[in-house]
Structure 1
């Protein structure tokens, strides 16, 4: 799939499923994604950043959690799906949290160099059309010593647990997601995109290739992974 075609397809899919996106995240992960996001936030805030960008923010869950945990920080949420951003703004208003949400392309971020002390990215990186270009853009907008925290689904783990998980992720999840959202294609895309995603060591190498010092940790038997990249 060409890069431009992938970007357009992903934007359309996530715009269509926006109204049910939060509910499905909770149902399909059995609520475990909340603990993963809290761990990502803790890592992002370790160095007490003053300016934080939550990229591929979706409906703003991570951006709002960052602002809640670090009320003195300036938090910006960016995404390329306007319906997602509309929901994020409503959630911010309902929670009384001041977060700026704006439309942006991760491959051409509308920010000057060294604009942010931290960038977070939860479950959106695999949807980017060009991983290296996105990482280069993130590296560009981070201050020296700034941190990228990338939470993502790696390919399913090996072994018996991996077999059960593949069955759930490849068969049951697309059915449930399709029924609830009305978009079966979007939830078939999810396991396809995860299977095609680089394994943790390969993603670490990609991040190191653009100038990050990287470590990562696996979560819930390897279902999710957090990569932490510090700009050197």
Structure 2
């Protein structure tokens, strides 16, 4: 089951996961519009919950983690992949230039919207990262919360267990 608060994103997901693109062994996926702060499923409905590049957009991140905890079975796993700000002295200047100038410029060219993707570096910088993020996960009830930085710290994978 795939959920997103945006109906347009759900439409794109449905198009990308059309019956023509499925392989023989893939299961059907149901896509639905829903708010991750109020997931419309009963307690302990899932073995796994994943979020890719979305928690930085949650209005109340702790509430979102509590909801994900609620719908996970005991022993269930949470995996969050999120953009992050690199801290290394060699990569940080390139990252700042890329996120402040290149990404917004490409976003403007593609979408014809002056604000397109300008929010990205702001939203990345505003979201808790590293130990702050795993502390929030633990506060929501998760155990064994950990993270692993990828791509010189531009992306981080967070894992936790119910």
Q: Please, what TM-score do these two structures have when normalized by structure 1?
A: 0.65
1:157 to 80, 83, 87: 87
Deviation at 1:151, TM superposition (A): 0.2
Deviations 1:156-210 (A, max 9, x none): 3241211111111111111111211222323011111011111211001100111
| Structure 1 segment 159-174 matched on structure 2, within 5 A | 159-174=89-104
- The whole-number CA distance in structure 1 between the counterparts of 2:128 and 2:71 is 24
Out of 91, 100, 105, the residue aligned to residue 30 of structure 2 is 100
Write the mapping of 1:21-170 to structure 2, written as runs, cut at 5 A: 76-93=1-18, 94-96=20-22, 98-170=28-100
- Find the aligned partners of 1:158 and 1:194 in 2 and give their Cα distance: 16
Deviation readout 1:201-221 (Å, 9 max, x if unpaired): 100110011111211101011
CA RMSD, Structure 1 to Structure 2 (Å): 1.2
The SS at the match of 1:95 is coil
CA–CA distance in structure 2, aligned partners of residues 126 and 116 of structure 1: 22
Q: Name the one with the larger helix percent.
A: 1
Is the 8 Å Cα contact of residues 88 and 152 (structure 2) preserved in structure 1? no
Q: 1:156 to 1:170 in 2, by over 3 A?
A: farther
Q: Which runs of 5+ in 2 are unaligned?
A: none
Are 2:120 and 1:190 equivalent residues in the alignment? yes
- Answer whether contact 1:155 1:198 (CA < 8 A) is retained: no
DSSP-derived class of the 1:229 partner: strand
SS of the residue aligned with 2:17? helix
Residue in structure 2 matching 1:200, options 130, 140, 143: 130
